[in-house]
Structure 1
Amino acid sequence: MNSPTSDTGVRTARANDVPAVAHVQAAVWRDTYGPLVDADVAAAFTPAAFEPAWRESLRNPPSPRHRLLVATEGAAVVGFVAIGPADNTDPATGEIYTLGVRPEHRRAGNGSRLLNAAVDTLRAGDFGALTMWLLADDDQTRAFLSAAGLRPDGAWRDRVVAADGRTAREIRLTASLTDSDAVSDAASDSEGRTPHGTDAP
């Protein structure tokens, strides 16, 4: 288990962070989706596969309300969270599209820092509610998010995770952002496993 250090934080991603973010996503996808797909599919979860989408999304974000934040330990990027408007008709609802922490950097507070920064950024953008998708059987991440105040709203979807059409069931969690205590620090930082939602902001 890693121990928190004083040289940690969360900041807005820069263009030169793209390779590091792609490395984090590749590690998270192998950890999360690797057991669900064939070995040759998991082998395709490489930084090179994810880097172009991140580079383009930072160069041309879908809207001014889209953000990519990164968690750092020293100079190293160890996690990220992509946020923006939810894919629904309510402009006041924000979404965490994807949140990931490198497996070897979990349980050190990085997931909590990313979640708190995402909530603060969404509130500053006048979002009044938060939504987030995750794998239905990812009990560890669900426990982390539930401790922070997110709750399932009954919605679900089947996400395609492989070129052969293989799917994985996801559920949606939601929380209010209008109450300053609606989303709080998780009591135990067992975070960062699930790359739900879209692959890039």
Structure 2
Amino acid sequence: MTTADVSVRVAWAQDAAAIAAVQRRAWEQRYDALLPDLLTERGLDADTHAEAWQATLARPPEARHRALVALERATVVGFVLTGPATDPDADPAVEGAIGELTVHPERVREGHGSRLLQAAVDTLVADGFTRVTTWVDSTDDETRAFLAGAGWEPDGASRELADETGAGTVKQVRLHASIGDPPL
């Protein structure tokens, strides 16, 4: 059997360790100083992180929650999470969300992010959503520019995430895009 050089597919439970490794590597780069404390506080070593992903992939909260993986041959190089929007001002019947879109830092600018984003939007449209949102770190100009280039815009919402001690915080802004047609 031959496989395409690059592709996107629904994540399988067997992808858990690879997804966890991509996520940890991206987090190391993105949150460098905050990450060790955050992982230590939560007791999230590599094995525990992979086990958490395995449980999530094996039993998603509902059918409209999906994880998709970007592959280069058979290697997971990125992932995206989709599902109904959960923000207090969202209508989860028509508004979907991208919970996280992550590409391994050594594999960015190779088209994996674009393929994941398109597959996520296609999945959300197939699930009947007409609008999609995502939260982006306020200092992540690269991701914001990537999403803006794909037609996403800020909607004015912001939030601040803090660890349990309050010592580390991450400020985020929400972006949105219209997808699909509204229901009749």
Shorter-chain TM-score tier: 0.7 to 0.9
Q: Which amino acid aligns with 2:142?
A: Q
- Following the alignment from structure 1 to structure 2, what is the Cα–Cα distance between the partners of residues 146 and 12? 25
Residue matched to 1:86: 85
CA displacement, residues 15-47 of structure 1 (integer Å, 9 cap, x when unaligned): 110000000000011111114x27x42775753
- Following the alignment from structure 1 to structure 2, what is the Cα–Cα distance between the partners of residues 109 and 134? 19
User: For residues 55-94 of structure 1, what are the structure 2 equivalents within 5 Å?
Assistant: 55-88=54-87, 89-90=90-91, 91-94=93-96
In the TM superposition, what is the alpha-carbon distance from 1:80 to its structure 2 partner?
A: 0.2
User: For residues 44-193 of structure 1, what are the structure 2 equivalents within 5 Å?
Assistant: 44=40, 46-88=45-87, 89-90=90-91, 91-160=93-162, 162-165=163-166, 166-178=168-180
Ranges of 4+ aligned residues in structure 1 off by more than 6 Å: none
Equivalent residues of 2:80, 2:98 under 8 A apart: yes
Change (3 A) 1:49 1:151: farther
In the TM superposition, what is the alpha-carbon distance from 1:51 to its structure 2 partner?
A: 1.7
- Following the alignment from structure 1 to structure 2, what is the Cα–Cα distance between the partners of residues 172 and 51? 28
Residue matched to 2:37: 41
Structural RMSD (CA): 1.7
Equivalent residues of 2:14, 2:54 under 8 A apart: no
- Following the alignment from structure 1 to structure 2, what is the Cα–Cα distance between the partners of residues 31 and 105? 13
Query: Considering only CA atoms, is the larger Rg found in Structure 1 or Structure 2?
Result: 2
- Following the alignment from structure 1 to structure 2, what is the Cα–Cα distance between the partners of residues 47 and 146? 33
In the TM superposition, what is the alpha-carbon distance from 1:94 to its structure 2 partner?
A: 0.3
Q: What's the TM-score, normalizing by structure 1?
A: 0.80
Q: Which amino acid aligns with 2:144?
A: R
Q: Specify which structure has the bigger relative contact order, considering alpha-carbon pairs within 8 angstroms and separated by 6 or more residues.
A: 1
In the TM superposition, what is the alpha-carbon distance from 1:53 to its structure 2 partner?
A: 2.3
User: For residues 12-31 of structure 1, what are the structure 2 equivalents within 5 Å?
Assistant: 12-31=10-29
In the TM superposition, what is the alpha-carbon distance from 1:145 to its structure 2 partner?
A: 0.4
Change (3 A) 1:176 1:18: same
In the TM superposition, what is the alpha-carbon distance from 1:52 to its structure 2 partner?
A: 2.6
2:30 to 29, 32, 42: 32
Equivalent residues of 1:18, 1:51 under 8 A apart: yes
Equivalent residues of 1:70, 1:77 under 8 A apart: yes
1:7 to 5, 8, 27: 5
> Secondary structure at 1:20's aligned position in 2?
helix
Q: Structure 2 regions of 5+ residues with no counterpart?
A: none
Q: Which amino acid aligns with 2:32?
A: G
Equivalent residues of 1:69, 1:80 under 8 A apart: yes
What is the number of equivalent residue pairs in this alignment? Answer: 171
